[in-house]
């Protein structure tokens, strides 16, 4: 895993909690996909297997392209008025939409 991507204790605890409800051997995937009102958005999914180009941090998978776009980022799990969610602080983003779901690079 790219050492420049940091995971807070809260994020790791939540990922492990979610994985504990899945089949053994499952992975938590973080990816950047095209879409949203600003061009890109983060995607969080569960996978049973990893690809050859995946970077692996414990039980978290990130494809190489997404990892390059996540360099210097911190992944956190936050509780806000609108609910709980994973939050990625990415220094490479130029702007984000009003809802905070999508961003541009």
- Read off the pLDDT of residues 19-46 as tens digits, 9 standing for 90 and up: 999 988 999 999 998 876 667 888 999 9
What residue has token string 């999508």?
A: 102
What pTM did the predictor assign? 0.83
Percent of the chain with pLDDT over 90: 52
The confidence band for 81, taking pLDDT boundaries of 50, 70 and 90, is confident
| Mean pLDDT value across residues 68-93 | 89
Fold entry, domain 6-104:
Hypothetical Protein Aq_1857; Chain: A; (2.60.300)
* Residue 70 CA: distances (Å) to CA of 20, 21, 24, 32: 25, 27, 27, 8
Residue 2 is predicted with a pLDDT of 45
Q: Is residue 100 classed as helix, strand or coil in its secondary structure?
A: coil
Residue 22 is predicted with a pLDDT of 93
């Amino acid at each position: 895993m790219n050492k420049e991507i940091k995971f807070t204790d809260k994020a790791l605890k939540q990922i492990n909690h979610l994985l504990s409800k899945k089949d053994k051997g499952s992975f938590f995937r973080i990816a950047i996909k095209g879409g949203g009102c600003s061009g890109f958005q983060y995607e969080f999914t569960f996978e049973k297997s990893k690809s050859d180009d995946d970077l692996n941090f414990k039980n978290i998978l990130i494809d190489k392209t997404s990892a390059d776009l996540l360099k210097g980022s911190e992944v956190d799990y936050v509780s806000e008025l609108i609910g709980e969610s994973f939050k990625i602080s990415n220094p490479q983003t130029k702007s984000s939409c009003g809802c905070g779901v999508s961003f541009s690079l």
